[in-house]
Structure 1
């Protein structure tokens, strides 16, 4: 038996309003994951995560997750003001076991449109295993643009290189 992990750690800057949306999303994720009812979503949150069901204000938000019944980003989260840049917040996210690249990318894409219109936000992640298992190690990267999200694993890049493709 072996344990598999997805790991990552990154930080980026965004506006205070974007940071507030991210904080609201993390609180909602925590509440929903624990079976609690989150506070009423703000109008800004509903604009970023439009409900897919009229009777459930959280229905648009839970679509970010592979399993809507388990809405977890799989990371620790910290945010705060950037001392040398008034009006800017720094967001840090990290995990050694259950980093969720696709959900995090979607969160950034929906919450940080002003920031990603100025420049994309990117991060890397790693796959590891507690034992030497075939294909138990690797990683990937993600780039969040205003109009799209690109995610690729090192396995995909390696396959392309082995087939003679250009990276």
Structure 2
């Protein structure tokens, strides 16, 4: 894929058949956004921001894509809609959430899109799966590797490997 970049995405959801929704999202993104270069295991995590809801399953993906960041975001949002995502409340329960964590080493500040994800360093549920597939990847704004960010992360919520299939 010429003129491609590796983008790192975080998939998550806490409604419905969580694992099946993540698998379907990965397949849809592979078709719409580019080649899946790496995928972490699934991790079960307590809800962040609003803790009075079911636990999430999360997974990080590395996607080789020729799409500009804004077009990749459009594909992520389309994937969420396909999974039945409804945006009813901030940090509320959802069938699927697809966040762009990193887009190569780009710094993107556009309406509706900030990359690197502005809260990546604060969220263990994003850092653990990302560290599995790209521990030495350097955060272009903070200058630290994903492994270093994880070691410094103060988020106390547990992130556990999910044993389900």
TM-score (norm 2): 0.37
